[in-house]
Amino acid sequence: MRYLWKKKILVIEDDKDIADLVKLVLETTEDFKVETVLDPLMAYDKVKEYQPDAILLDLSMPKMDGWAVFKLIRSDNAFANTPIAILTAKSQQFDQMVGLHIMNADAYITKPFGKQELIDKTYELFKTKE
């Protein structure tokens, strides 16, 4: 899929190695420009500054969990419709149901993930929003 301009992706992930890996993988597509934020307390400010087209959000982070970050972002009307994919090691079906059907995340990506799975799920974020 080719876009007229690169889609801006924000990765909110406290593990620098994973954040760097996601950035590296997604930027190989030439359709995505990726920024990362490692501190969940800085995530909302980064969202406002960067104005991402989509967000990949880790759930298990120190200081503030991903669901709190998710609610904060969704409570802002400017980002209420920004696609958010959960990026987590929580792979139980219950966790996925909570993420997708109760919290209304747009996608659920479990760690460890494959390169193609990450790329495909990121593209899928835009299919429902275009």
pLDDT at 121 over 70: yes
The CATH number of whichever domain residue 43 belongs to comes to 3.40.50.2300
pLDDT at 3 over 70: no
| Number of neighbours of residue 78 by Cβ within 10 angstroms | 10
Determine the pLDDT at residue 108. 86
Cα angle at 74 between 108 and 99, to 5 degrees? 25
Whether a cis peptide bond, with omega within 30° of 0, leads into 52 is: no
Task: Estimate the share of the chain in helix, then strand, then coil, as percent rounded to the nearest 5.
Answer: 45, 20, 35
> Is residue 1 included in any domain, yes or no?
no
Which has the closest alpha carbon to 123: 45, 53, 36? 53
Give me the domain span that covers residue 61: 7-127
Q: What is the pLDDT of residues 59-91, one digit of tens each?
A: 888 888 888 999 999 999 999 999 999 888 765
**Residue range 2-26: mean pLDDT, rounded:** 92
Taking the model in full, what pTM does it have?
A: 0.89
**Count of domains observed in the chain:** 1
Of the two residues 90 and 14, the one the predictor is more confident about is 14
> Is residue 2 included in any domain, yes or no?
no
